[in-house]
Structure 1
């Protein structure tokens, strides 16, 4: 299976979530047979895992780049800009695959739900560790709690994604991000 098949599956999961993406719809969106999907990926859950990897590398690579920003404010600005850009692209479903993909699932989808919890927690941990470095480097005040600041930022970013999925437009989301960044702690 090529990247284009994975991209089609990603868009389908992104639009319908894990539970809402039935095998028939997935294979139709991918342009392959059910037999080919199972031969290439094993099952729907394994396909979703590959899709989440692709999502992280493809439409959602901004986190890794944001963490390279020289200041905490630069990191926060880049994360929120990336969130807004990724969740409001005209040719993609609005919202975030990693946030909405499996917020609620039946028992059979619990592993995917857990996978997405881990995915979100890994993002939070990366931001927390980066903010700890900015405290250590003197970019943020010594009294700053990097864990709390990272949790605040990632929670806000996920909230932006939910608002984008609800139809809030890019300009309004940017206004919200700007308001949050105006209260950013400075050293």
Structure 2
């Protein structure tokens, strides 16, 4: 996959501090996505952000705090994109749009969409237990949003009256996670599309 180019180490004197901070945070986010928390060193972070280690500490805190800020930065952007997908005319179209997002990259920016949360959730050191819990909470929020959209569709008659929207939301969230892992591991668009088609084939019939 193509990665967004890294920021230059020097920025224009007229740029506001918040702008430079956002560039550095975006660079850190992409690095954590590519290498995971445990696989990312301070040397990697200084090269990617153009900041010295003391500046990283002063601006973001330690590596755990930097990851947390990158996660929050990502979640704020991703939530908007996810909600746009859920606004499709029908519940079925909304679910399929979410699955397509999980192929790996934001269709406009080329940055990770679901992949960042999945990659972060897979880091396993004892020091990151709290981070993993926070990542899990973000994923549960996404599942709840999906269930809410399925409930809307159910009320409109798009799903059988007995459809279990909680189980459906958990099922499709699991598919999203699997697609994200496969996408980050280099699966082809064709293979991912076939998985999406198979998942959508399980959509309950109203008959």
CA distance in 2, matches of 1:150, 1:56: 19
Which residue of structure 2 lines up, in the alignment, with residue 17 of structure 1?
36
CA distance in 2, matches of 1:161, 1:10: 16
Which residue of structure 2 lines up, in the alignment, with residue 130 of structure 1?
149
Is the Cα contact below 8 Å between 2:26 and 2:70 reproduced in 1? yes
Given the two structures, how large is their TM-score scaled by the length of structure 1? 0.89
Is the Cα contact below 8 Å between 1:66 and 1:78 reproduced in 2? yes
Quick check: which has more Rg, 1 or 2? 2
Mark the runs of 5 or more structure 1 residues left unpaired by the alignment: none
**2:75 is aligned with 1:75:** no
Give runs of aligned pairs for residues 59-98 of structure 1, distance below 5 A. 61-86=80-105, 96-98=115-117
Cα distance per residue 1:20-51 (max 9 Å; x no partner): 11222112211101111111112222221221
Is the Cα contact below 8 Å between 1:88 and 1:169 reproduced in 2? no
Q: Deviation of residue 93 (structure 1)? A: 7.0
More helix by share: 1
* Partner SS state of residue 75, structure 1: helix
Q: Deviation of residue 82 (structure 1)? A: 1.1
Cα distance per residue 1:48-107 (max 9 Å; x no partner): 122112223446743111221231101111101111152899965797110121424221
Q: 1:102 to 1:126 in 2, by over 3 A?
A: same
Given the two structures, how large is their TM-score scaled by the length of structure 2? 0.81
Q: 1:49 aligns with which of 68, 73, 79?
A: 68
Which residue of structure 2 lines up, in the alignment, with residue 145 of structure 1?
164
Q: CA RMSD in A?
A: 2.4
Q: Deviation of residue 137 (structure 1)? A: 2.4
CA distance in 2, matches of 1:175, 1:54: 31
Is the Cα contact below 8 Å between 2:114 and 2:180 reproduced in 1? yes
Is the Cα contact below 8 Å between 2:106 and 2:113 reproduced in 1? yes
Is the Cα contact below 8 Å between 2:102 and 2:113 reproduced in 1? no
Which residue of structure 2 lines up, in the alignment, with residue 166 of structure 1?
185
Q: Which structure carries more relative contact order (alpha carbon 8 Å, separation 6+)?
A: 1
CA distance in 1, matches of 2:167, 2:129: 28
Which residue of structure 1 lines up, in the alignment, with residue 199 of structure 2?
180
